[in-house]
Amino acid sequence: MARKTTIVQQLINSRSTIKPFKCSNVSKKYSLPLTVGSKKTITSDSHFFTLKPNSRQSMKKLSVLTAAALMLLVSCSKSVSDKQQEEENTVEATTRRCASYEVLQAKLKEDPSLQKRMDEIEAFTARYVAQKSVNGKLEADGITMTIPVYVNVLYSNAAENISDAQIQSQIDVLNEDYAGSNGDVNKTSTYQTVKAGNTNIRFTLAGIIRKSTTITSWGTNDAMKKSSQGGIDPTNPTTSLNMWSCNLGSGLLGYAQFPGGSTATDGVVILYSAFGSRAKVPSGTFTSTYDLGRTATHEVGHWLNLRHIWGDRRCGDDFVGDTPAHDGANYGCPAAGAKSACSGKPLEMNMNYMDYTADACMYMFTAGQETRMRATFAAGGPRASLR
């Protein structure tokens, strides 16, 4: 530190012109002397410097400038490294980001047989939906499914060790959203005719497993689901839903495993600060915008075989007949009446739980989505063991 102070003092004492220098990807600005007398000696381009000695008299000052440049490069590199580490360890989700589709694509590459199972599930679902269609309307089977839920909490600090009350608030939100009894379900009149109403899917808290860890950020490789990698193994994955609450990196809010995957990794992963509802537990630990428990509603939808409403591509297929085509994800709280750029320019259903809007602005499933989810529980379905 003393050496650095000496160099800076020498630079101040010189008659050099100072020009701001900014490290790439770092907000702090650094200054470098770019002239000695009237002759230019250093030019800068991002992290690169070119030294141009102009006279023997300049060499002494040039050596000082060279040392300063090297020290600034080291400082800049360290600042970039520190910043990246800070971002990895402390991530605030700014837009809804679900990695379920990306995780599915990775698993399909790892296990070629998974595609065959997924195709069989789609064929089974199509037959089930056809059987439930009466005069163009979907007929509910009326059987209430109650799903035991195990919540696995991985924490590296007190904030991540969310309370029992915050966990219970998430179960309560799931029950409200899947019963169609959430207080905001009637905000829109546009899609009342296809609104799901009660899906007859219930959730009950079966247990909470907590584990302290030195891992400060988790990714999408399912490590949090494996005790051998510092995580927590799922409990009774064939007859219950496992949820993991942890600190996800890369701005992720969560991801789920679709039906058909390995039971060893089956379940839903949620960012700890998006787990539960601030409205129900104001003292909990929450991120802004995604603090009403709708991330879990969205991810459990994937776990029950729902796709993103835009089909994960421009005007893609979500395999549901009563959802409009979307040209992409919606974010925040879009104005009512927004139209898709897809064929026919239909009104977008941006309040659907399978879009990417803010928690306060998503509040419905459709009857078609309900039937698709119910198909997973039917005899021969991928989650029939939950019956």
pLDDT in tens, 67-79: 444 444 434 343 4
- Indicate whether 285 belongs to any domain: yes
Q: Report the domain count for the chain.
A: 2
Residues 205 and 58 placed together within one structural domain of the fold = no
**Mean pLDDT for the chain overall:** 81
User: What pLDDT does residue 336 have?
Assistant: 81
Q: Can you tell me which residue has the tokens 């020290």?
A: 71
Residues 63 and 187 placed together within one structural domain of the fold = no
Q: Where among 61, 89, 117 does a domain terminate? A: 89
User: What pLDDT does residue 65 have?
Assistant: 43
- What is the span of the domain harbouring residue 267? 100-386
pLDDT tens-digit readout, 167-184: 999 999 999 999 999 888
Q: Can you tell me which residue has the tokens 């193994």?
A: 233
Residues 81 and 124 placed together within one structural domain of the fold = no
User: What pLDDT does residue 136 have?
Assistant: 62
Residues 84 and 104 placed together within one structural domain of the fold = no
Tokens of 155: 């924490």
Helix (H) or strand (E) holding 100: helix 100-110
Residues of the chain under the 50 pLDDT cut: 1-91
pLDDT tens-digit readout, 311-361: 999 999 999 999 999 999 999 999 888 899 999 999 999 999 999 999 999
CA nearest to 171, candidates 16, 62, 281: 281
User: What pLDDT does residue 94 have?
Assistant: 58
Catalytic residues: 299
Helix, strand, or coil (residue 326): coil
Query: CA angle, corner 100, sides to 306 and 114, nearest 5?
Result: 80
- Indicate whether 95 belongs to any domain: no
Residues 243 and 175 placed together within one structural domain of the fold = yes
User: What pLDDT does residue 34 have?
Assistant: 37
Residues 280 and 223 placed together within one structural domain of the fold = yes
- Indicate whether 94 belongs to any domain: no
Residue 215 belongs to a domain with what CATH number? 3.40.390.10
- Indicate whether 77 belongs to any domain: yes
Q: What is the value of pTM for the model shown? A: 0.76
User: What pLDDT does residue 337 have?
Assistant: 85
Residues 113 and 230 placed together within one structural domain of the fold = yes
Residues 85 and 104 placed together within one structural domain of the fold = no
Residues 336 and 269 placed together within one structural domain of the fold = yes
Q: Where among 62, 89, 116 does a domain terminate? A: 89
Residues 142 and 224 placed together within one structural domain of the fold = yes
Residues 69 and 208 placed together within one structural domain of the fold = no
Q: Where among 39, 67, 89 does a domain terminate? A: 89
Residues 196 and 303 placed together within one structural domain of the fold = yes
